Amino acid sequence: MQPPAASVEIEIRNLSKWYGTHQVLKALSTDVRRSEAVVLIGPSGSGKTTFLRCINLLEPFQEGEIRIGGESMGYQTDATGRRRRRSERDIARLRAKVGMVFQSFNLFPHMTALKNVALGPVRVNGMARREAEELAASLLARVGLADKLDVVPGRLSGGQQQRVAIARALAMSPKAMLFDEVTSALDPELVAEVLDVMRQLREDGMTMVIVTHEMAFARAFANRILFMADGKILEQGPPAELFGDPKTARLQAFLKRFREGHQL
Amino acid sequence: MDLLIASLPLLGGGVWITLQLAVLAAIVATVLGLTIAFAQLFGGLVLRIVAEAYLYIARGVPLLVLLFAMYYALPYAGIMVEPMSGGVLVIGFYFAAFMADVFRGAMLAVAQGQWEAGRAIGLRTPTILVDIVLPQALRVAGPPYVNTLIMLVKGTSLVSVIGLSDVTFVGRQIIERTLAPFEIFGAVAAVYFVICFALSRCGAYLERRASFVH
């Protein structure tokens, strides 16, 4: 194994996770380079979402290591060799480095779009409210919502809510962004506006890890695709390679099912 | 009618006692209820067990029995409690259990995704609670909270049996002297009704405000 290059943003080594005795992630290892867009695909229950949630520690994991920008994410080994969870203060600080966008948006319903986005900078970075709201306004403009600053989430469409959620994550100036099936809860006609924002982020050089069921999007968008099944990465490579010449029987079967159901 | 007017000063004194009792007990019940709810949700094992035990006792023993215990049994243990403060404490402790359920339920009603969204931007538990969860939970808690307050107001009438001259007690005294139960009890009932009706209207208002735009 070669030492990680300087441009590696997310480093994952032998990540394993169990629910009780059931192992859901089996010694996953991969590096995500700066500005790379990595897309996770695989059947339901393969561990994609769990894997993604481990990266910013919404899920604890029992073995292995995740490093963001060189810093170990959730756990440290103390002098006696025992593995310990870091303090909540440390974990919160590290989480702020990784933006996360959820399938169900999870916007704060009692706050306007502007306040949703400004909350993190004010409460985590100690930014002055006025400054944070200027930042929030510029980010909301960037995702095409300059005219919705004072609107509460309940009055926004799903696509608009998801764009606010992206702006909220960007407000923390993350080193990488995680997207967990961000278009799955959207009406079909609203999917494009969210994907457009993601494309724009990619052009700006954002490092991204994406879980999706949108195969056409995955193929067009990813630098690299990871195919997961049963908690393992079975295959990975550029989209053309995985979709054009799948090596494993599992991936062949997975793609075949998709071709039967969808236009690919 | 003359009888009612003649009774007004006495009844007024009773109303004053009832109001004091209700307000003070409501404060005790609210503060203690919030504390218990927090203990249940965020406390360690010992705190959670203490909170649970407390809830089972308060739910499982009638208020009247608790009042008797305070007034008649405690003096045998050498503890003398003045009826007013004793009444406030017993009623407060008793309704704290129901308040705890209201607050705990309201906090649990806030979606788990709200916590996760807060954590994902680097917020820590106290900030998530204050800025995200409590503002939503308190809206949910409003109407059932008012319901519990109404129960509490009516519950205060039980203190008349331990010698506190609240409006129920005063009413009974007047009836013994005047033998006019219909008018006097009518007036006493009206007092409770007016207080509870006002609270109900507050509750209805909170309920209208409670729902977020969806």
* pLDDT tens-digit series, residues A123-158: 988 888 999 899 999 999 988 888 988 999 989 988
Q: Which residues pair with A98 in a beta bridge?
A: A176
pLDDT at A3: 47
Pure H helices in chain B: 2-42, 45-60, 63-68, 83-109, 112-120, 125-127, 134-155, 167-178, 181-210
Q: CB distance from A109 to chain B under 8 Å?
A: yes
pLDDT at A264 over 50: no
Q: Long-range contact list for A24-30, CB < 8 A, 24+ apart?
A: A24/A50, A24/A231, A25/A50, A25/A51, A25/A54, A25/A61, A25/A231, A26/A230, A26/A231, A26/A232, A27/A63, A27/A64, A27/A232, A28/A64, A28/A231, A28/A232, A28/A233, A29/A64, A29/A233, A30/A226, A30/A233, A30/A236
Q: How far apart are CA B52 and CA B60, in angstroms?
A: 12
Q: What is the pLDDT of residues A47-87, one digit of tens each?
A: 899 999 999 889 989 988 888 888 887 887 777 878 888 88
| Minimum CA–CA partner of B124 in chain A | A92
Return the structure tokens found at A120: 């993190």
Contacts of B124 in chain A (CB under 8 A): 88-89, 92
Contacts of A155 in chain B (CB under 8 A): 213
Regions of chain B with pLDDT less than 70: 1, 210-214
pLDDT at A262: 60
CB nearest to B114's CB, from A106, A152, A165: A106
pLDDT at A2 over 80: no
Q: CB distance from A17 to chain B under 8 Å?
A: no
**Average pLDDT in chain A:** 87
Contacts of B117 in chain A (CB under 8 A): 102, 106-108, 165, 168
pLDDT at A5: 52
Map out the domains of chain A with their CATH numbers: 1-97+207-264 (3.40.50.300)
B150-165 b/e (C-beta count within 10 Å ≥ 16 → b): bebbebbbbbbebebb
Q: How far apart are CA A186 and CA A204, in angstroms?
A: 25
Number of domains forming the structure of chain B: 1
A154 contacts B212? CB cut-off 8 A: yes
pLDDT at B214: 45
Q: How far apart are CA A174 and CA B55, in angstroms?
A: 45
* Amino acid identity for residue B204 in this structure: A
Of residues A206 and A90, which shows the higher confidence score?
Answer: A206
Query: What is the predicted ipTM?
Result: 0.88
Kindly report the CATH number assigned to the domain that includes residue B96: 1.10.3720.10
A120 contacts B114? CB cut-off 8 A: no
Q: What is the pLDDT of residues A175-204, one digit of tens each?
A: 899 999 888 888 888 888 888 889 999 989
pLDDT at A1 over 60: no
| Minimum CA–CA partner of B136 in chain A | A110
Q: Which residue reads 């997975």 in tokens?
A: A254
Question: How far off is chain B from A172, nearest CA to CA, in Å?
Answer: 7
Domain range enclosing B19 = 2-210
Return the structure tokens found at B148: 């519990």
**3-state SS of A218-244?**
HHHHCCEEEEEECCEEEEEECHHHHHH
Pure H helices in A106-214: 113-123, 129-142, 158-170, 188-203
Say if CB A127 and CB A151 are below 8 A apart.
no
Q: Which residues pair with A179 in a beta bridge?
A: A101, A210
B127 contacts A123? CB cut-off 8 A: yes
CB nearest to B136's CB, from A109, A119, A124: A109
Q: CB distance from A217 to chain B under 8 Å?
A: no
